[in-house]
Amino acid sequence: MTSRRQFLAAGAAGAVLTSRVRAANSEFNYSEIEERIARRDFRDLVKADLPTPALILDEALFQKNLHTMAEHNKATGLKLRAHVKIHKCPEISKQQLALGAYGVCCATTAECELMIGSGIKNVLHTCQPAGRAQIARTVALVRREPTFTGVLDDPITVGALEEALSAAHARMNVIVDVYAGLERQGCQPGESALQLAQKVDQSKHMKLVGIMGYSGGASHTHGWEARRQRSTSDVAAMLETVELCRKSGLPVGIVTGGSTGTYNIDTENHLTELQAGSYIFMDTLYRRIGGKSDEHVYSDFDPALTVMTTVISQTRPNQCAVDYGNKATLRTTDEVKGRPGVKIDSGGAEYGMLSWNDGGPEIKLGDRVEIYPSNLDTSTNVYDRYYVARGESIVDVWPIMGRSGAAQR
């Protein structure tokens, strides 16, 4: 029987794709692993011990991504309010803040509650609260954390929120959300945005602090130059609106927007704050858009997150089934780590199919295979936790506290 030391050495020396170590070699059973995680005792825990499918975060690549963005922000003066929707994990936000990020952005009221409940300040909700229930929760957040800031794109929301804030004797920081190429949100730029900003500014219980224009349509445009042109054109009217508001004497200190795809374009576009999120992990769809220095691969940030799976059947040549299917958000645009030629197809709700040409990789029953997901938001939403890996060793476990379910709403 393989000793624990030999087992660890084999894992560290092994290829990234397959550990070649069966679960039978592991000294921990499932409930022991859960007990150790609860005690935060990760000694001798290795990837091969974990139940699959599991989200594995490569600590070194993740840290590299955090530092790359932090250095960019320092060099350009662009403040980072990193988007939470990608990871839904307060631990990750705290690491971004420790490296100099100004705050965080959230997509839902529940994410704002999670972050503020974790003691995080300068939370920006990038979607307006609509309806009585969300407005009541927004007011509760303002009362709890005065740095909390929300966006608005409609005079109806200004009226409803003002009334609720007034009843609670609270005052809220507000950013006017202006259309920047994405039809799901943002008031019309120009005169109507100016009127909305004036309405906010005149409201007794709101403080106008800036303008948002999220050019989400530009973020995944292929080719850096094409992306630059698309983003510049998508935010042009929003930036003219910023000038219009400032000329009218409105206090527009913050101009916020942008994404991982446009982080080194947004500086030119005169944003003061960047909302990038995906850069911390990267996914296959982002990797394909190409960067400023590499037109084929967007390599400014490294792919730090994988779904680790187990080969559960291999009865035919050149193909196998893994325990990663539609429920675990398998997509045909995912990629197998270390094996670019391997094709991924769905095998149903619980299973995925990997196939390859003659001469392809040797993947065998029981092997571990790591797969890069295509879309981080949806992937991280269905897992409980990130297993943080240093080589083959698991060195930490971070719960994904804001994932799907009641807490998401």
Give the residues lining the site for ligand PLP (CB under 6 A).
83, 85-86, 105, 107, 126, 214, 216, 219, 259-261, 275-278
| Neighbour-count burial of 407, counting CB atoms closer than 10 A to its CB (0-12 exposed, 13-18 middle, 19+ buried) | middle
Return the number of the residue (7 or 286) whose C-beta is nearest ligand PLP.
286
Angle at 159 between CA 156 and CA 163, to 5 degrees: 145
Cα separation, 160 vs 177, whole angstroms: 17
Structure tokens at 146: 């005065």
Q: Shortest Cβ distance from residue 29 to ligand PLP (Å)?
A: 37
Q: Shortest Cβ distance from residue 7 to ligand PLP (Å)?
A: 37
Return the number of the residue (7 or 214) whose C-beta is nearest ligand PLP.
214
Structure tokens at 83: 């988007």
Q: Shortest Cβ distance from residue 283 to ligand PLP (Å)?
A: 9
Return the number of the residue (92 or 170) whose C-beta is nearest ligand PLP.
92
Q: Shortest Cβ distance from residue 381 to ligand PLP (Å)?
A: 13
Cα separation, 115 vs 147, whole angstroms: 12
Return the number of the residue (274 or 389) whose C-beta is nearest ligand PLP.
274
Q: Shortest Cβ distance from residue 194 to ligand PLP (Å)?
A: 22
Q: Shortest Cβ distance from residue 227 to ligand PLP (Å)?
A: 12
Residue 163 phi/psi, 5° resolution? -60, -45
In the chain, count of helices (H) and strands (E)?
A: 11, 17
Return the number of the residue (21 or 57) whose C-beta is nearest ligand PLP.
57
Report yes or no: 368 and 70 within 8 Å, Cβ to Cβ.
no
Structure tokens at 187: 């008031």
Amino acid 145 reads: E
Return the number of the residue (274 or 397) whose C-beta is nearest ligand PLP.
274
